[in-house]
Amino acid sequence: MASPIAAWRRFLARPNNDRVKTLGIAFIVAFCAALLVSTASVLLKPRQQAHIEAARQAQLDRMLDTLPGLRDLMLEAGVDALQTRLVDLGTGSFATGIDPATFDLRAAAQDPATSIDLPPEADIAGLKRRATLAPVYLLESEGALKVIVLPVEGAGYQSTIRAYLALEADLNTIAALTIYEQGDTPGLGARIAEPAWAALWPGKQIADETGEVVISVVRGQATGPFEVDGIAGATRTSNGVNDMLRFWLGPYGYGPFLETLKAEGL
């Protein structure tokens, strides 16, 4: 039996214009490149994930700094970060048995074992699937809820929009909305991540006196406590934010959880 080394030498000895040699070299280069990329992806994934988490935390911290008096409340409560809890979105109750620090919301949303298919008529945020659990961030002081932050996401014009929605203790007043990830058109839809647009949200109300979620991003100028100015020339992005909030504040999102908090008097 010919040795692999001898076979390799015979292969290399073929003329450079030989079809077998050309295809063989192309295959070898493609295989090595794919192997290199795959190896780098696996080895760098933990570092990439750490950078993503650090960026999210930094964005959350910046949002908290925009909330008047929040840092003072945290100081009084003796904490330097919000408490992270997992919520069962189906029951509206806190989940137990899973460490929130290790929970990956994006991975959970893609795994059929930890997510559900959304009915088309309910999937106004364009998610297709939704994780059964989701994290929330709480600030409590002397047994009373002061601020709650909800991670939300939905389809924009060209990308998935991900944001933090902070609610005041009444669970109906928006304290802040911060877009921390989006890839929509620069100068148009991407303006949802600008401080000037974020400044329009504090004080807005999410539901009317009947409890119906009515917060909306409108074309033109807002005229009431349930409306926020849309971005001119970026209707689909504005609609994406609107639908994202309507979904996550509704029955398939954090709606049952917020109703549970209200019922418990937190």
Print pLDDT tens along the chain (266 aa). Answer: 557 778 778 877 888 888 888 888 888 888 888 888 888 777 766 676 666 666 666 766 766 676 666 676 666 666 667 888 999 999 999 999 998 888 999 999 999 999 999 999 999 999 999 999 999 998 887 778 888 999 999 999 989 999 999 999 999 999 889 898 898 888 888 999 998 999 999 999 999 999 999 999 998 889 999 999 999 899 999 999 999 999 999 999 999 999 999 888 65
Whose CA is closest to 153, among 121, 185, 186, 177? Answer: 177
- C-beta contacts of 212-221 below 8 A and 24+ residues apart: 213/245, 213/246, 213/249, 213/250, 213/255, 215/174, 215/245, 215/246, 215/249, 216/242, 216/246, 217/241, 217/242
How many CB atoms within 10 Å of residue 256? 18
All residues at 6 or more sequence positions from 162 whose CB lies less than 8 Å from its CB, including other chains: 151, 152, 153, 179, 180, 181, 182
Distance CA 211, CA 193 (A): 29
Res 33: pLDDT: 85
Res 68: pLDDT: 60
Assigned token pair, 112 = 């059929």
What one-letter code names the amino acid at 33?
A
Res 153: pLDDT: 96
Whose CA is closest to 106, among 179, 181, 39, 37? Answer: 181
Assigned token pair, 230 = 């849309």
Inter-helix orientation angle 19-66/70-77, to 10°: 80
| β-sheet bridge partners, residue 87 | 94, 134
Distance CA 162, CA 141 (A): 28
148: helix, coil or strand?
Answer: strand
Res 131: pLDDT: 97
Strands (E), the chain: 83-88, 93-94, 115-117, 129-131, 133-141, 144-155, 160-168, 174-181, 216-218, 227-229
Res 27: pLDDT: 86
Whose CA is closest to 69, among 135, 137, 136, 141? Answer: 141
Distance CA 190, CA 196 (A): 12
Res 241: pLDDT: 96
Instruction: Give the domain ranges of the chain.
Output: 4-45, 67-264
Distance CA 130, CA 124 (A): 12
48: helix, coil or strand?
Answer: helix
